[in-house]
Amino acid sequence: MHLVYPAVLAALLFCVGLYGVLARRNAILVLMSVELMLNAVNLNLVAFDVWLRDTLHAGQALTLFTIAIAAAEIGIGLSIVLLVYRNRCTSDIDRLRDLADVPTAADRMPGTTDNAPDVADGKRLTRGEAAA
């Protein structure tokens, strides 16, 4: 068998998973896309193990380890998603923006932070002027 077939299939599966991770909104769908990416890597490992045929069978052993780690990852990830859903009533990734760097009212007021450097103060001042 030509090695290009499994390698191209793995690359395309990885990119499909990449699209899913970037474009999906629900956290569980993102986890599904991560599973697709991990499976693409597994297919690559198996194909190259069959091609190289080393005595240690490193590709197949690493595939088994990757499957086990993916199972652990999906368990932890789903429990984290459930915990987020219990606390926030949503599992949409777009709404989990508490750590996002959005300008708030405290940032727009100049002089609230005294120990900030002058450049940041000037930037905040201009931003406050633009908002005012």
Q: State which of residues 41, 46, 124, 130 lies at the interface with other proteins (CB under 8 A).
A: 46
Q: What's the gap between Cα 73 and its chain centre? A: 12
**41 scored as a contact of other proteins (CB under 8 A):** no
Calpha distance 91→16 (Å, rounded)? 22
> Looking only at residues 82 through 121 of this chain, which bind other proteins when binding is defined by CB under 8 A?
82-83, 85-95, 102-106, 108
Shortest distance, CB of residue 120 to other proteins, whole angstroms? Answer: 19
If phi > 0 it is left, if psi is from -120 to 50 it is alpha, else beta; for residue 53 that is left
- Length of the chain measured in residues: 132
**123 scored as a contact of other proteins (CB under 8 A):** no
Three-state SS for 92? strand
Calpha distance 21→34 (Å, rounded)? 7
> Looking only at residues 61 through 80 of this chain, which bind other proteins when binding is defined by CB under 8 A?
61, 63-65, 67-76, 78-80
**23 scored as a contact of other proteins (CB under 8 A):** yes
What amino acid occupies position 55? T
Shortest distance, CB of residue 114 to other proteins, whole angstroms? Answer: 20
**49 scored as a contact of other proteins (CB under 8 A):** yes
